[in-house]
Amino acid sequence: MSLAALRQQLAELVEGTRPALPGLPTGFAALDAVLPDHGLPRGRLTEIAGTPGSGRTTIARQLVATTLHAGWWVAYIDASRTLAARDWAALGAHDSLWVVRPDTPQRGAWCADVLLRSGAFGLVILDGAPALSREIAVRLVRLARASDAAFVLLAPDNQHAGVAGALQLRVQRARAKRTTEPLDLTARLEGQVRAPASPPAPAPMSPRRLLISVEKGGPPARVEVPCAADESRHAARGVRENPQIPDRRGVARRDRNKRGARAGGAGERAIRRGDVALG
């Protein structure tokens, strides 16, 4: 048996003797009810996958708000530099929230390494980084285990870290349902109900909901959670974006090969805080 395999077996044996830690609540009661630890597992990797616009960032924002409310420090690594500051303005009053924007997406994993190694954060989210190799993902999970932090990776549907035991959540938009009143067709045919002279108004749509599939970490389950209205756009505090940080939403998908040359300013480094300025 090789030395590396022996170390792996010893690590798994030691890990098996550690007491189970309560999970971090997600902010969605229906989702917490089906998760093994009644929340996101600490010391492990959670992959939240979905197509663009599926609601991954919405889930992450709710998770961050719930974790901050519980008193934990949170680090959000915006590797692709596409995070909209106004959507997170309501959370800007928390000093325990760090938003990290590396110079290039490839530096996202390095930022996660430093933040997890510090042991100061209960939740570290890596968003928009290139696919992690298995070696890097395993190292980050070990750092999360050492600091009892929940490590979350936001990724597309077809991008998985390949770490054994990782919790995988797949997010998609649930189909909206129109609320309509039942129509008595028999009465219409008998002439008892007249057709309206003007076209009827469109039927109201029910509130948007997200469909989350729990694919690993326990029995397969699918839950629907409400997609709450974005209250951060109506925050009472004055919010402005840092003029040194360009708004690059959408650009990352159009020129993915050129992001490294365009991202960042001359005075910006791999880890920084303060992309959202509060006044």
CATH 3.30.1490.20 fits 26-176+204-249+265-278, yes or no: no
For the segment 22-35, the average pLDDT, to the nearest whole number, is 91
Select from 131, 147, 46, 60 the least CA-distant residue to 99.
60
Task: Specify the range with the lowest mean pLDDT, choosing from 114-123, 127-136, 179-188, 244-253.
Answer: 244-253
More confident residue, 2 or 267: 2
Among positive and negative, which fits the CA dihedral 125, 127, 132, 134?
positive
Q: What amino acid occupies position 116?
A: L
Q: Which residue carries 């006044």 as its tokens?
A: 279
pTM over 0.85: no
What pLDDT digit, counting tens, does each position of 68-99 carry? 999 999 999 999 998 888 888 888 777 899 99
Residues whose CB is less than 8 angstroms from the CB of residue 117 and which lie 6 or more positions away in sequence, other chains included: 143, 147
Q: Which of 2-11, 53-62, 137-146, 215-224 has the lowest mean pLDDT?
A: 2-11
- Asked whether the predicted pLDDT for residue 3 surpasses 80, the reply is no
What's the pLDDT at 176? 65
Residue pLDDT, tens place only, 45-65: 999 999 888 889 999 999 999
- The burial class, CB within 10 Å (0-12 / 13-18 / 19+), for 192 is exposed
Task: Output the pLDDT for position 87.
Answer: 84
Give the mean pLDDT of 238-253: 47
Which 3 state secondary structure label does DSSP give 100? strand
Residue type, 92: G
Tokens of 173: 């938009």
Domains in the chain: boundaries: 26-176+204-249+265-278
Average pLDDT over residues 234-251: 44
Please compute the mean of the pLDDT values over residues 141-170 and round it to a whole number: 90
Helix (H, G, I), strand (E, B) or coil at 15: helix
When pLDDT is cut at 50, 70 and 90, the band that residue 195 belongs to is: low
DSSP assignments along 203-258, one per residue: PPBPPPEEEEEE-SSSS-EEEEEE----GGGG-SS-EEE-TTS---TTHHHH-GGG
Q: Give me the chain's average pLDDT, please.
A: 75
What six digits make up the tokens of 192?
Answer: 């008892």
At residue 192 the predicted structure's pLDDT band, cuts being 50, 70 and 90, is low
